[in-house]
Amino acid sequence: MGIHTFFTSLNDLERIIRAPGRFKFEEHNVAAHSWKVSQYAMLFATIEERAGQTINWKSLYEKTINHDFAEVFIGDIKTPVKHSSPELKEMIAKVEEGMMEKFILTEIPEEFQEVFFDRMKEGKDDTVEGRLLELADKLDQFYESFAELKRGNSDPEFAKMYRIALTKLLNIPLKASVDYFKNVMLHDVMSEETAIDVQEITRQVLGDK
Amino acid sequence: MGIHTFFTSLNDLERIIRAPGRFKFEEHNVAAHSWKVSQYAMLFATIEERAGQTINWKSLYEKTINHDFAEVFIGDIKTPVKHSSPELKEMIAKVEEGMMEKFILTEIPEEFQEVFFDRMKEGKDDTVEGRLLELADKLDQFYESFAELKRGNSDPEFAKMYRIALTKLLNIPLKASVDYFKNVMLHDVMSEETAIDVQEITRQVLGDK
Amino acid sequence: MGIHTFFTSLNDLERIIRAPGRFKFEEHNVAAHSWKVSQYAMLFATIEERAGQTINWKSLYEKTINHDFAEVFIGDIKTPVKHSSPELKEMIAKVEEGMMEKFILTEIPEEFQEVFFDRMKEGKDDTVEGRLLELADKLDQFYESFAELKRGNSDPEFAKMYRIALTKLLNIPLKASVDYFKNVMLHDVMSEETAIDVQEITRQVLGDK
Amino acid sequence: MGIHTFFTSLNDLERIIRAPGRFKFEEHNVAAHSWKVSQYAMLFATIEERAGQTINWKSLYEKTINHDFAEVFIGDIKTPVKHSSPELKEMIAKVEEGMMEKFILTEIPEEFQEVFFDRMKEGKDDTVEGRLLELADKLDQFYESFAELKRGNSDPEFAKMYRIALTKLLNIPLKASVDYFKNVMLHDVMSEETAIDVQEITRQVLGDK
Amino acid sequence: MGIHTFFTSLNDLERIIRAPGRFKFEEHNVAAHSWKVSQYAMLFATIEERAGQTINWKSLYEKTINHDFAEVFIGDIKTPVKHSSPELKEMIAKVEEGMMEKFILTEIPEEFQEVFFDRMKEGKDDTVEGRLLELADKLDQFYESFAELKRGNSDPEFAKMYRIALTKLLNIPLKASVDYFKNVMLHDVMSEETAIDVQEITRQVLGDK
Amino acid sequence: MGIHTFFTSLNDLERIIRAPGRFKFEEHNVAAHSWKVSQYAMLFATIEERAGQTINWKSLYEKTINHDFAEVFIGDIKTPVKHSSPELKEMIAKVEEGMMEKFILTEIPEEFQEVFFDRMKEGKDDTVEGRLLELADKLDQFYESFAELKRGNSDPEFAKMYRIALTKLLNIPLKASVDYFKNVMLHDVMSEETAIDVQEITRQVLGDK
């Protein structure tokens, strides 16, 4: 009970593997994922700031660092489930919220409960920081699926995951960031040799718009 | 689509790790777990048959082989969740059921849908075969947690898991099997050298009864 | 000594890796393999029953669940050895049999020795259940090698394993099952994208007949 | 070349294992470590702020997120080396700095070079944020070695690592944080059952002060 | 076919795990084992040479480097099998010999066949080099089982393996080496903290002599 | 302290992974690498001897067995570092040398210090044995990168590693060995099916000469 319990639970997230059950050439844990999301957000927030947006950096980093903490309670629910059922997605969100509340009330000392409630709440809101989190989270899904396709993973789930992540990325209302991703970074991504034809999927998604 | 898709999904269960997120000296996947449960059930059904019960062997083995197939959809939900919230447990059961129904209607050829609905339904009912499944499933939890405690895993979750599994085991209404477990097997289990004092926990559980 | 020792030895089979020594994108253990074989057998026995055969379901499942238990004694002897030398194959079979006998007489309580001798004997006999075991066992070899070829494993051993498994599958005297596999399932298998040209090998095997 | 290359290199840090070459019951990668350090820093910065310090949160999080990025170039140099030779430690620091400079000038687009130079420079300076980084980094070493000792890792390197981390932690000039760690958290840590006597080492370190 | 095939087969030995099927805190492959055996032999041959023996160094190193190459054909047969049945041990030796002969005649170019027959033959003969190989091979078994016992592996197989290895070590007819091991090294080994009481087993073995 | 410490440190090299930080389909440790290098050297020394060279076999095997022992101190520094900076390479060599000296003076009993200094010194000198070590070491880099390219690893680092290793191999002043490698073995290597076009890279390197 107490902060020691909380700190110990962080270690649990190193053992929660993303996209459980699928064959993957490389596995990723939720702790490392959260770090990469923070790194992506750092760069795109810089781009947005230069484009004139005001960034609440404290909020941004706390959103990215904490956004998947709730997976410590129920793990990374399999992707196809999330894709195929909005009711289930919502139900899972509710369960996570309930577990989180119980965890904070039980484990976190009273003096810190308020900050925990604030920091651990769903971060993907309509603020610029919420959108940057959404962008960075989708970008990691983009990179994870791209890496599998590049190495020849022919499980159709990864092509689907790539297609969905890319589509969502391109539609996030952060003009400067999406432009940079689409016009600069995507070019570099597409110039890589890949075992499965990622260029074709990418062109399809770009054409659909 | 079709039986090939079903057979391929069996492979997915080799990648679903039980008790995700906890530190374990040895990991177990759901496919191997299902096999061990079938083996335990084979022995205890023999004991029950000798004690005069009639066993529907076909039903017994189909229950044990299929009992965790639904984890292919949402994975092995973390144990503490299952322990701490009956509503969540029920909610998860409902989700799994819905996913299973959808899977059968989408992937399984019409001619086999009926047998699949029959075989994949919740197996832990009040028949002797349903009870044998419950016994065998709990016994694997007993063995998994025992092995962790024996090797010195001091995560309190495993002591809790051991205690709960043992308590449930001793209360399953299969007199001959529970007697054999309690009077013969438990003696052998307790004679093993263990890093954590499992004998003490066992005595507490036995005394509580 | 006793049933506890037997149950513990089941855990050992989770650590026996199939096809040891070869590079594989994904490893499979003997416990999970035995479970998948039971699943395949369940489906093909249903097909045979509908085609008019009488199935002894108890015998079928006990054959599939137990068929590789003897590997607990000497492990999964490397495949090329089994392929290249019939004398060695026989010698190994004899050693396994001896080890099994010794194990039953030493570890299994007298009251269960007879059932163990019966259940652990070589299952691939000329009964319909023995043939279903042979079919299901070869099907898992077919799927394991197919998955490696699909992901681009160019070790010639896997192409050879695929070719041998497919050839044997097509010649098992279970008309309804082999027809279903050949006319329905194989079509789905062949429609998958694969890194190595599995279709070509398949056509060669089909043409040879 | 470009941000895509930088983002790809983040993935490399998921493959850099901390304390390479030592036997460990659990491995940790540099990406996940950086995330845990950010989490620890978030809490202790809250404590410091409540104690009256002004926190530059943007700087704090950028320090924690980036502090080990340079390991992408030369890996996690083995701990005993770092412990035993200050010259070597400095030499390694110089090499990392040179590699970092080269990386930024070669891979990062000109428009971002300045922010990268700023964010990637050594973070452990005398500011409150630099000290919080030092505290959080040492705390992770404390937790990693504690977890190994708890599970019975008798490699003397981990007892040494624990002793050094604890000693350094207690001497960081952040009064409120160190008090909280020493008076509240350490009590919880010490109440855990451990295979190796961590309490004794802890008492020794506390007594030395 | 040819030396390339031989060189490729060396890689296979990196995938053959020693003592397959047992739970181990750390796994060892046959390639790394062969290297450690060569290192041990280098030291004890130095001791023997100083004690007046003439060492054929070329033969010594070729014996140690090659002594387990035959495991590429049938893997590391499980230890209990080797311990419990001399007939089986001999049968396995014969099979390996046959496989080796076939391999050399099929894969190795004619010009090298003679050297291969010479280098790959059973190395544990009555020469001083053969005895040094035996000593070094047993020493690795001693160290592997010691490390498991030290970390708390309570599988009785490892205590048995330790006892057998130590007993055999002490009886190898290489006086200077055995004296050094017994009087100098064993003292250091015994001064390590261990989870399982290795000192007691060691004293029993020493007392038996 | 003493030979026991030295023997224990050999085990550490089983945990030092080559080319850390890169994605690899198969990992190799330094212990297994040292063994393969000894095997390659054994064959090429035979070729050189037949071509009229005098081989000091004791020196040859001691060079190959010991050549990477120093990695026990600082690990396998990432390949790109070694490729990109000669000063760094030298600096690292100096550090390793210093660590080795300290290790021998601290850990090795005085009576063995001289042999250790002799055996552990840099082995790649201008003797025929030094050149055979260089050849064998590069050959393992050639095989490791070849295996990755064959399985479709599109990380450009491996194509670069293959190109550099092949170029260096062809220029080692050991005429008979290089001729055998180039005229006999390379033909077999090139006839393998590979996911990435290794033949093209090979032809480029051969044409450059």
pLDDT of residue F167: 97
Task: Please give the average per-residue pLDDT across A114-136, as a whole number.
Answer: 95
B and F touch per CB criterion (3+ pairs under 8 A) = no
Lowest mean pLDDT among C59-63, E149-153, F71-75, F177-181: F71-75
Task: Please give the average per-residue pLDDT across F104-121, as a whole number.
Answer: 94
Chain A positions in Cβ-Cβ contact with residue D139 (cut-off 8 Å): 7
pLDDT of residue C87: 74
Is the Cβ of F9 closer than 8 Å to some Cβ of chain D? no
Chain B interface disruption, residue of A15, A72, A92, most B CBs within 10 A: A15
Distance in angstroms (rounded) separating the CA atoms of residues A110 and B200: 35
3-state secondary structure of A197: coil
Distance in angstroms (rounded) separating the CA atoms of residues C191 and D151: 49
Identify whether the C-beta of residue D136 lies closer than 8 Å to the C-beta of residue D64. Answer: yes
3-state secondary structure of F29: strand
Task: Please give the average per-residue pLDDT across B46-60, as a whole number.
Answer: 98
Tell me which chain C residue has its CA closest to the CA of residue A23.
C26
E and C touch per CB criterion (3+ pairs under 8 A) = yes
On average, the pLDDT of chain F sits at 92
Tokens, residue E108? 């190795």
Identify whether the C-beta of residue D47 lies closer than 8 Å to the C-beta of residue D177. Answer: yes
On average, the pLDDT of chain E sits at 92
End-to-end CA distance of chain E: 51
Phi-psi region of F75 (alpha: psi -120 to 50; beta: other; left: phi over 0): left
Q: How confident is the model at residue C122 (pLDDT cuts 50, 70, 90)?
A: confident
3-state secondary structure of F25: coil
Residue B207 backbone dihedrals phi, psi, to 5 degrees: -70, -30
pLDDT of residue D60: 98
What are the pLDDT tens digits along chain D (209 aa)? 699 999 999 999 999 999 999 999 999 999 999 999 999 999 999 999 999 999 999 999 999 999 999 898 887 776 666 666 677 777 777 878 888 999 999 999 999 999 999 999 989 999 999 999 999 999 999 999 999 999 999 999 999 999 999 999 999 999 999 999 999 999 999 999 888 899 999 999 998 65
Chains that touch C (3 or more CB pairs under 8 A): A, B, E, F
Distance in angstroms (rounded) separating the CA atoms of residues A128 and A132: 6
Residue corresponding to tokens 């957000």: A41
Identify whether the C-beta of residue C55 lies closer than 8 Å to the C-beta of residue C45. Answer: yes
Share of chain A above pLDDT 70, in %: 95
pLDDT of residue B79: 63
pLDDT of residue F83: 63
Q: Distance, in angstroms, between C68 CA and closest chain E CA?
A: 14
Chains that touch F (3 or more CB pairs under 8 A): A, C, D, E
SS3 for F56-106 is: CHHHHHHHHHHCCCCHHHHCCCCHHHHHHCHHHHHHHHHHHHHHHHHHHHH
Q: CA quadruple B163, B166, B170, B173: dihedral positive or negative?
A: positive
For residue C158, how many other CB atoms are within 10 A of its CB? Answer: 22
Close Cβ partners of E86 (under 8 Å, ≥ 6 residues apart): none
**More confidently predicted of B179 and A197:** B179
CB pairs under 8 A between A and B: 68
Q: How confident is the model at residue E5 (pLDDT cuts 50, 70, 90)?
A: very high
Is the Cβ of F153 closer than 8 Å to some Cβ of chain A? yes
Distance in angstroms (rounded) separating the CA atoms of residues C199 and C179: 18
Task: Please give the average per-residue pLDDT across A118-134, as a whole number.
Answer: 95
Is the Cβ of B81 closer than 8 Å to some Cβ of chain A? yes
Is the Cβ of D62 closer than 8 Å to some Cβ of chain A? yes
pLDDT of residue C125: 95
pLDDT of residue D88: 72
Q: Do C189 and B4 touch (CB under 8 A)?
A: yes
Is the Cβ of B16 closer than 8 Å to some Cβ of chain A? yes
Distance in angstroms (rounded) separating the CA atoms of residues A44 and A129: 10
Is the Cβ of D56 closer than 8 Å to some Cβ of chain A? no
Q: How confident is the model at residue C89 (pLDDT cuts 50, 70, 90)?
A: confident
Of D1, D2, D57, the CB nearest to A57: D57
Reported as a single tens digit per residue, the pLDDT across B60-100 is: 999 999 999 998 888 777 666 666 667 777 777 787 888 89
Looking at the DSSP bridge assignments, the partners of residue C181 are none
Tokens, residue B109? 């050829």
Chain A positions in Cβ-Cβ contact with residue D115 (cut-off 8 Å): 46
pLDDT of residue E79: 63
CATH number at residue E35: 1.10.3210.10
Please state, in angstroms and as integers, the Cα–Cα distance from residue A148 to each residue in A34, A79, E66, following that order: 19, 15, 39
Task: Please give the average per-residue pLDDT across A134-152, as a whole number.
Answer: 96
Domain membership of residue F119 as a residue range? 3-207
The tally of domains found in chain C comes to: 1
pLDDT of residue F15: 96
Identify whether the C-beta of residue B44 lies closer than 8 Å to the C-beta of residue B136. Answer: yes
For residue E56, how many other CB atoms are within 10 A of its CB? Answer: 15
Amino acid code (one letter) for E59: S
**More confidently predicted of F88 and D159:** D159
Rounded to 5°, angle at Cα E204 from E199 and E207: 120
Of B21, B85, B102, the CB nearest to A75: B21
Lowest mean pLDDT among A79-83, B108-112, E188-192, F33-37: A79-83
Reported as a single tens digit per residue, the pLDDT across A8-61 is: 999 999 999 999 999 999 999 999 999 999 999 999 999 999 999 999 999 999
Rounded to 5°, angle at Cα F75 from F73 and F76: 140
Distance in angstroms (rounded) separating the CA atoms of residues E96 and E74: 7
Residues in chain C: 209
Q: Do E152 and D195 touch (CB under 8 A)?
A: yes
Rounded to 5°, angle at Cα D19 from D15 and D24: 95
In 3D space, the residue among C124, C135, C131 whose CA is nearest the CA of residue C181 turns out to be C135
Q: Distance, in angstroms, between D78 CA and closest chain F CA?
A: 5
Q: Do D20 and F17 touch (CB under 8 A)?
A: yes
Tell me which chain C residue has its CA closest to the CA of residue B144.
C11
- Reply yes or no on whether the pLDDT at B143 is more than 80: yes
Q: CA quadruple E168, E171, E176, E178: dihedral positive or negative?
A: positive
Chain A positions in Cβ-Cβ contact with residue C194 (cut-off 8 Å): 154
* Predicted TM-score (pTM) of this structure: 0.95
Of B2, B31, B43, the CB nearest to C35: B31
Chain D positions in Cβ-Cβ contact with residue E144 (cut-off 8 Å): none
Tell me which chain B residue has its CA closest to the CA of residue E152.
B151
Distance in angstroms (rounded) separating the CA atoms of residues C100 and C71: 10
Chain D positions in Cβ-Cβ contact with residue E26 (cut-off 8 Å): 23
Tell me which chain F residue has its CA closest to the CA of residue E189.
F4
Task: Please give the average per-residue pLDDT across C89-112, as a whole number.
Answer: 87
Residue E29 backbone dihedrals phi, psi, to 5 degrees: -100, 165
Distance of CA B4 to the CA centre of its chain: 26
pLDDT of residue A63: 97
Reported as a single tens digit per residue, the pLDDT across B152-181 is: 998 999 999 999 999 999 999 999 999 999
Task: Please give the average per-residue pLDDT across C20-45, as a whole number.
Answer: 97
Q: How confident is the model at residue E193 (pLDDT cuts 50, 70, 90)?
A: confident
Chain F positions in Cβ-Cβ contact with residue E188 (cut-off 8 Å): 1-5
Share of chain C above pLDDT 70, in %: 95
On average, the pLDDT of chain B sits at 92
Task: Please give the average per-residue pLDDT across E46-66, as a whole number.
Answer: 98
Q: How confident is the model at residue B109 (pLDDT cuts 50, 70, 90)?
A: very high
* Helix, strand, coil content of chain A in percent (nearest 5): 70, 0, 30
Chain E positions in Cβ-Cβ contact with residue C73 (cut-off 8 Å): 78, 80-81
Identify whether the C-beta of residue D6 lies closer than 8 Å to the C-beta of residue D108. Answer: yes
In 3D space, the residue among B160, D46, D162, B28 whose CA is nearest the CA of residue A6 turns out to be D46
Q: Do F188 and E46 touch (CB under 8 A)?
A: no
pLDDT of residue A78: 64
- Reply yes or no on whether the pLDDT at B209 is more than 60: no
Chain B positions in Cβ-Cβ contact with residue C36 (cut-off 8 Å): 7, 10-11, 31
Reported as a single tens digit per residue, the pLDDT across E150-174 is: 999 999 999 999 999 999 999 999 9
Q: Do B7 and C143 touch (CB under 8 A)?
A: yes
- Reply yes or no on whether the pLDDT at E19 is more than 80: yes
Residue corresponding to tokens 């004092």: B197
Tokens, residue A58? 């404290």
